[in-house]
Chain A
Amino acid sequence: MNWLFEMLSYTFIERALVVGILISICAALVGVSLVLRKNSMIGDGLSHATFGAFAIATALNLTPLWFAIPIVIAASFFVLKLSNSKKANGDALIALLSASSLAIGTIAISLTKGVNIDLNSYLFGSILSIGWSDVWLSLALTIIVILLYVFTHNCIFAITFDEDFAKAIGIKTNIYDAIFATICSLVVVFGMRLLGALLISSLIIFPTLIAMQFSKSFKHVVIHSVLISVINFVLGLTISYLITSPTGATVVIVNLVVLIISYIIHKVILGKN
């Protein structure tokens, strides 16, 4: 067990562990509705938008986090609104946002002179970039997300299951969409430094897909996906420390392995549909 104490003796790992657990909780809570409403790709689109915003902020010598937050929130309003509209082609719009943001970000970085930018850490994350301010901001975000979820979980269920019915019984679905868009953006912006633009959406998608394999109620999917998300993150971080692999990629692989195992148990061993 010496390795565990040694791992936890590094302050940057402690910070990454705390931020990762908090972001995993938020991502799983948001993820259930996004996956079930077939909006899974939104996380991907937003992470690319965050990359673009971070790169521009760095080029302009601004604070990336505060520059990115309003931009990504605006992008998420736009994408969520259009992808829930029956007229717009939601997935094409997300692909458009992803490619354009990545292109803008790459050009901004290539034109920036005199600043040392690690493109890899933007794309694949770096636990070294997590500071104490990230810990406190993630903690505040998690408290807000959990409180919002507790007070609105019944309405979130109604909207996720059947938006038309929810509107008919008087639920203001546009307000919930706005709250969702904001939370989703914050999860992506805070989580991107940990997992990177290319991997952060996995935190939103995988836990729900795994939880759906063995949960028959919405409530259980939400609870299980939060637990799975946290456990998989901690496992991923630990393995990445032990085998010195990139943290973001290791967390994604752990999620993938757990998904495959749960799928095999569910379909092959238990024979369920």
Chain B
Amino acid sequence: MSHAIIAKNVSISYGSNKVINSANFVIDEEDFVCVVGANGSGKSTLIKAILGLIKPDSGKIIFENNNKRKSIGFLPQDTKTDMIFPATVIEIVLSGTLGQLGMKAFYRKENKDRAEKSLRRLNILGLKNSSFSSLSGGQKQKVLLARALAATSKILILDEPSNNLDYKSRKEFYNELKELNKSGLTIIMITHDLDAEDLIGNKIINIKESKVECYSTSDYLESFK
């Protein structure tokens, strides 16, 4: 399988605190990677480095096979899912296509088609004109996933997406992610849940005391037995 992202000796510090120490890993195309580790272990820091939001002190993150940093679909942690924000679903999903809009002031037909395609893919096209604030937690998370899908057709990064979801919504959301992965999307997901049913990917990146280790999910789960 061809590589999507390669991390070579990546180290990141906040002041004198080294969060990531010489990380080396490979993420292949169509991998589903779960990033695990204790609170404050550096999971979000590693993701931010992949997204280019922070620069590593040393080492580099390489994108291969026409994968580009700017065309990653991202679902951040703590998006304003709980606050009243006046926006329709289509306004939010369209903002996922802004990276493709360049310097143009108004969305084009291709942006609108792409946003609708993302909504259709997640079976929520019917919510297109609904107010985001009126949706349930699970529906809101699906809308944000649709926005991330509108930004990418290759790599999806999710930062603790199941945080505000109840058990049923979380299971549905994970099933959706598995389907997207099967359709060819590379997925990197931070999770703080260490139950076997939350580790739904084929690979695990575990961050512990600034050390980054990569396992197959079966090997990782085996190590707990």
B-contacting residues of A (Cβ < 8 Å)? 36, 150-155, 157-158, 161-162, 164-171, 211-212, 215-221
- Mask, B43-55, CB within 8 Å of A = 1, is 0000000010100
- Does B86 contact A221, Cβ atoms closer than 8 Å? yes
User: In the assembly, what is the distance between CA of A108 and CA of B84, in Å?
Assistant: 43
Asked if A162 meets B86 with Cβ closer than 8 Å, knowing A169-B70, A169-B96, A171-B98, the reply is no
Q: How large is the interface on B (under 10, 10 to 19, 20 to 34, 35 or more residues)?
A: 20 to 34
- Does A162 contact B79, Cβ atoms closer than 8 Å? yes
- Does A168 contact B51, Cβ atoms closer than 8 Å? yes
- Taking a contact as CB atoms closer than 8 A, the residue among B76, B91, B105, B133 that contacts A165 in the complex is B76
Min Cβ gap B6→A in Å is 20
User: In the assembly, what is the distance between CA of A221 and CA of B87, in Å?
Assistant: 9
Give the contacts of B122-175 with A (CB-CB under 8 A): 131, 133-134, 147, 151
Identify 14 residue pairs between A and B in the complex whose beta-carbon atoms are under 8 Å apart, listed by A's number: A151-B105, A154-B105, A161-B79, A161-B87, A162-B80, A165-B76, A168-B53, A168-B74, A168-B76, A215-B86, A216-B133, A217-B87, A218-B88, A221-B86
Chain A, interface SS category: helix
- In the complex, chain A residues whose CB is within 8 Å of the CB of B96: 169
- Taking a contact as CB atoms closer than 8 A, the residue among A151, A158, A166, A216 that contacts B86 in the complex is A216
Residue of B nearest to A163 (CB): B76
Min Cβ gap B76→A in Å is 4
Min Cβ gap A157→B in Å is 6
User: In the assembly, what is the distance between CA of A158 and CA of B106, in Å?
Assistant: 13
Min Cβ gap A213→B in Å is 10
User: In the assembly, what is the distance between CA of A154 and CA of B95, in Å?
Assistant: 7
- Does B86 contact A165, Cβ atoms closer than 8 Å? no
User: In the assembly, what is the distance between CA of A220 and CA of B98, in Å?
Assistant: 20
- In the complex, chain A residues whose CB is within 8 Å of the CB of B51: 167-168
Is B180 engaged at the interface, CB distance under 8 Å to the other chain?
A: no
User: In the assembly, what is the distance between CA of A210 and CA of B51, in Å?
Assistant: 38
- In the complex, chain A residues whose CB is within 8 Å of the CB of B40: none
- Does B80 contact A150, Cβ atoms closer than 8 Å? no
- In the complex, chain B residues whose CB is within 8 Å of the CB of A215: 86
Asked if A157 meets B87 with Cβ closer than 8 Å, knowing A165-B147, A167-B53, the reply is yes
- Taking a contact as CB atoms closer than 8 A, the residue among B70, B84, B87 that contacts A170 in the complex is B70
Is B101 engaged at the interface, CB distance under 8 Å to the other chain?
A: yes
- Does A169 contact B99, Cβ atoms closer than 8 Å? yes
- Does A155 contact B79, Cβ atoms closer than 8 Å? no
- Taking a contact as CB atoms closer than 8 A, the residue among A36, A151, A162, A218 that contacts B76 in the complex is A162
Min Cβ gap B77→A in Å is 8
Residue of B nearest to A218 (CB): B87
Is B92 engaged at the interface, CB distance under 8 Å to the other chain?
A: yes
User: In the assembly, what is the distance between CA of A158 and CA of B92, in Å?
Assistant: 8
- Does A169 contact B76, Cβ atoms closer than 8 Å? no
User: In the assembly, what is the distance between CA of A90 and CA of B196, in Å?
Assistant: 41
Asked if A155 meets B86 with Cβ closer than 8 Å, knowing A161-B92, A167-B53, A169-B151, the reply is no
- In the complex, chain B residues whose CB is within 8 Å of the CB of A36: 85-86
User: In the assembly, what is the distance between CA of A154 and CA of B94, in Å?
Assistant: 9
- In the complex, chain B residues whose CB is within 8 Å of the CB of A218: 86-88, 91
User: Apart from A162-B76, A165-B74, what 4 extra A-B contacts exist at CB < 8 Å?
Assistant: A161-B80, A164-B79, A217-B86, A217-B131
Most chain B CB neighbours (cut-off 10 Å) among A151, A152, A211, A217? A217
- Does A164 contact B76, Cβ atoms closer than 8 Å? yes
- Does B86 contact A220, Cβ atoms closer than 8 Å? yes
Min Cβ gap B224→A in Å is 32
